[in-house]
Amino acid sequence: MNEKLLMARCAMALFLSLIPGAALAEDPASLVRQSQAAFHYAGIDLKARVKMTLLTKEGQQRLRDLMMLRKNEAGGNQRYFLYFHGPADVRGTVLMVYKYPNQEDDRWLFIPALNLVQRVAARDSRSSFVGSDFSYEDVSGRDVEADTHKVLRAEALESRQTVVIESVPTREADYAKKLSWIEQVTFLPLKEEYYDVQGALYKVFTADEIRDVQGLPTVTKRTMTNVKTGHKTEVVFENVAYNVGLGEDIFTERALRKPPEKWLR
Amino acid sequence: MSMRGVFLGVALLSAGVGIVPLRVQAEELLIHGFLQANYDMRVTGQHPPGPEGGDFLFGEERFQLRLDKSGEKGRLFIRTDFFHDAVANRPDLELREAYVDTSMGGSDVRVGRQLLIWGVGDYLFINDIFAKDWGAYFSGRPVEYLRVPQDALKLDLGTNKVSAEIVAMPFFQADKLPSRNRFLQFDPFPGVPRSTQEPALEFQNTELAARLYGTTWGFDTALYLYRGFFRMPALEANQMTAPTLITETFPRLVVYGASTRGNALGGVVSAEVGYYDSLQGQAGHNPAIPNSSFRYFVGYQQQPWEDFTVGLQYYGELMSHYDAYRATLPSGFPAQDRHRQLMTLRLTQLFWNQTLRLGIFAYYSPTDQDYYLIPEIRYSISDNLWMSVTGNIFGGRRTTTFFGQFDADDNLAITMRYEF
pLDDT of amino acid B240 = 76
Contacts of residue A106 in chain B, CB cutoff 8 Å? 218, 262-263
SS (H, E, C) B213-258: EEEECCEEEEEEEEEEECCCCEEEECCCCCCCCEEEECCEEEEEEE
Q: Which of residues 238-257 of A touch B (CB under 8 A)?
A: 248-249, 252-254
pLDDT band at A128 (very low <50, low <70, confident <90, very high): confident
Give the pLDDT confidence of A25-70 residue by residue, as tens digits. Answer: 568 888 999 999 999 999 999 999 999 999 999 989 999 999 999 9
Q: How far apart are CA A136 and CA A55, in angstroms?
A: 19
Query: Taking CB atoms and an 8 Å limit, are B75 and A261 in contact across chains?
Result: yes
Query: Taking CB atoms and an 8 Å limit, are A127 and B144 in contact across chains?
Result: no
Q: Which of residues 150-209 of A touch B (CB under 8 A)?
A: 174
pLDDT of amino acid B338 = 94
State the burial class of residue B351 (Cβ atoms within 10 Å of its Cβ: 0-12, 13-18, 19+).
exposed
Smallest CA–CA distance, residue B236 to chain A, in Å, is 34
Chain A: residue nearest B382 by CA?
A62
In angstroms, how far is CA B403 from the centroid of its own chain?
15
Query: Taking CB atoms and an 8 Å limit, are A86 and B101 in contact across chains?
Result: no
Q: Which of A54, A119, A252 sits opposite B261 (nearest CB)?
A: A119
Give the pLDDT confidence of B270-288 residue by residue, as tens digits. Answer: 999 999 999 987 677 888 8
Chain B: residue nearest A126 by CA?
B306
Q: Which of B144, B220, B270 sits opposite A114 (nearest CB)?
A: B144
Q: Which of A56, A62, A121 sits opposite B303 (nearest CB)?
A: A121
Q: How many CB atoms lie within 10 A of CB A148?
A: 12
Q: Residue A233 in contact with residue A132, Cβ under 8 Å?
A: yes
Query: Taking CB atoms and an 8 Å limit, are A123 and B307 in contact across chains?
Result: no
Query: Taking CB atoms and an 8 Å limit, are B386 and A89 in contact across chains?
Result: yes
pLDDT at A142 over 50: yes
Mean pLDDT of B287-300: 94
pLDDT of amino acid A123 = 63
Contacts of residue A120 in chain B, CB cutoff 8 Å? 268
Contacts of A221 (CB under 8 A, 6+ apart): A207, A208, A209, A234, A235, A236, A237
Query: Taking CB atoms and an 8 Å limit, are B32 and A231 in contact across chains?
Result: no
Contacts of residue A98 in chain B, CB cutoff 8 Å? 218
| b (16+ CB within 10 A) / e for B78-96 | bbbbebbbbbeeeeeeeeb
pLDDT at B191 over 90: no
Mean pLDDT of B360-381: 96
Q: Residue B96 in contact with residue B149, Cβ under 8 Å?
A: yes
Q: How far apart are CA B115 and CA B271, in angstroms?
A: 23
Query: Taking CB atoms and an 8 Å limit, are A88 and B383 in contact across chains?
Result: yes
* CB proximity B77 to A under 8 Å: no
Number of CB pairs < 8 Å for A and B? 101
Smallest CA–CA distance, residue A23 to chain B, in Å, is 37
Of A221, A238, A252, give the one whose Cα is nearest residue A49: A238
Q: Which of residues 328-347 of B touch A (CB under 8 A)?
A: none
Return the amino acid letter for B294.
Answer: F
pLDDT of amino acid B9 = 42
Contacts of residue A123 in chain B, CB cutoff 8 Å? 266-267, 302-303
* CB proximity A54 to B under 8 Å: yes
Query: Mean pLDDT lowest for which of A12-26, A235-249, B48-62, B212-226?
Result: A12-26
Pairing of strands B56-70, B29-42: antiparallel
pLDDT of amino acid B161 = 86
Q: Residue A78 in contact with residue A99, Cβ under 8 Å?
A: yes
Beta strands, E only, B11-161: 22-24, 29-42, 56-70, 74-85, 90-104, 107-114, 150-158
Query: Mean pLDDT lowest for which of B165-169, B333-337, B377-381?
Result: B333-337
Task: Tell which phi-psi region holds residue B28, choosing left (phi > 0), alpha (psi between -120 and 50) or beta.
Answer: left
